[in-house]
Amino acid sequence: MESKEQAGNLFVCHECDALQTIKGIEPGNVAACVCCGSTLFKNPVDGVEKPLALIVASMIFFIVANLYPIITLNIAGIERAATLTESALIFLKLGRPELAVTVWFCCVFLPGFIISGLLYVLLSIRYELGLPYTKPVLAWIIRLSPWEMVDVYYLGILVVLVKLVAMADVLLDTGFYAYSILIFVYAAAASLIEPHFLWECLSRQDSKPQ
C-alpha cells in the first residue's frame, strides 16, 4: 500500500507531477496518468474481500504473537519465557529504555494500531456498517505507510534476538513463529489494499441516505 497525493478526485502523478481528475473507475480497471501513462491506482475486481480475509488472519497471528512467549531465556540454568511486551520490560530492567521503546513500539503498538485500524475500515466497507471515524483512521494508516512498516516489524524482533542472544541462551517460542507468519500475511494484505479505492468506498457510504 502506498500513500497517494489526493484531494477529492484530484490526483497528482508520482512520476511526472501532473494534476488530473479521475472518477468512477470500473472494478478490475486501472487509472493511468494522462501525461506519462504510469499507473495511478487500481480498482480491485473483488472489492475488499481478499484484503479483509488477510487482515483478519493478520489480527489472529498478531494476538497469538502477543499472548504466547516469543522466546525462552536460559539464564544460569533458570528458564524463563517472555512475550513481546515482557521482552521490552526485560530491556527496561537492564537499563536499556531505548531498546524497550523500540521493541514495544515496532512490535506491539504500530502493528496493533495498523491492523486493528484496517480491520475497522474494511469491516465498515464490506458490511456497509457506516462506522464513525473511518476516514481519519484510514488517513493515519496511509500516513504510517505500511510497506515500510514490514521493515519496522522486522527491526523490533531483530533487536530482541540480537541483544538477548548476547546475554543468555535463547530458544524461539510459539509467539516468534506467529509473528514471522504475521509479517508475511500482513505484507500480502498491504499489497492488495488500494487506499484510493477505500476512500471511494467510504465517500460512497457517506453520501448514502441514512
Query: Do strands 6-7 and 39-42 pair parallel, antiparallel, or not at all (unpaired)?
Result: unpaired
Strands across the sheet with 19-21, in order? 6-7, 10-12, 19-21
Residue 206 within binding range of Zn ion, rule CB under 5 A: no
Q: Using an 8 Å Cβ cutoff, are 3 and 143 in contact?
A: yes
d(CA 190, CA 205): 22
C-alpha cell at 143: 500516513
The C-alpha R_g of the chain, in whole angstroms, comes to 20
Which one of the spans 9-17, 81-89, 107-115, 136-144 is the region binding Zn ion (CB under 5 A)? Answer: 9-17
Q: To the nearest whole angstrom, how small is the minimum distance from the Cβ of residue 15 to Zn ion? A: 4
Nearer CB in complex with Zn ion: 10/35:
35
Q: Using an 8 Å Cβ cutoff, are 47 and 202 in contact?
A: no
Q: Using an 8 Å Cβ cutoff, are 170 and 17 in contact?
A: no
Tell me, rounded to whole angstroms, the distance of Cα 5 from its chain centroid.
Answer: 19
Q: To the nearest whole angstrom, how small is the minimum distance from the Cβ of residue 21 to Zn ion? A: 14
Encoded one letter per residue, x for contact with Zn ion by CB under 5 A and - for no contact, window 13-32 reads x-xx-x--------------
Contacts (CB under 5 A) with Zn ion, residues 159-188: none
Q: To the nearest whole angstrom, how small is the minimum distance from the Cβ of residue 45 to Zn ion? A: 24
Encoded one letter per residue, x for contact with Zn ion by CB under 5 A and - for no contact, window 29-68 reads ----x-xx--------------------------------
Q: To the nearest whole angstrom, how small is the minimum distance from the Cβ of residue 28 to Zn ion? A: 22
Q: To the nearest whole angstrom, how small is the minimum distance from the Cβ of residue 142 to Zn ion? A: 20
Look at residues 30, 56, 24 and name the one whose alpha carbon lies nearest to residue 45: 30
Nearer CB in complex with Zn ion: 35/75:
35
Q: Which residues make up the interface to Zn ion (CB under 5 A)?
A: 13, 15-16, 18, 33, 35-36
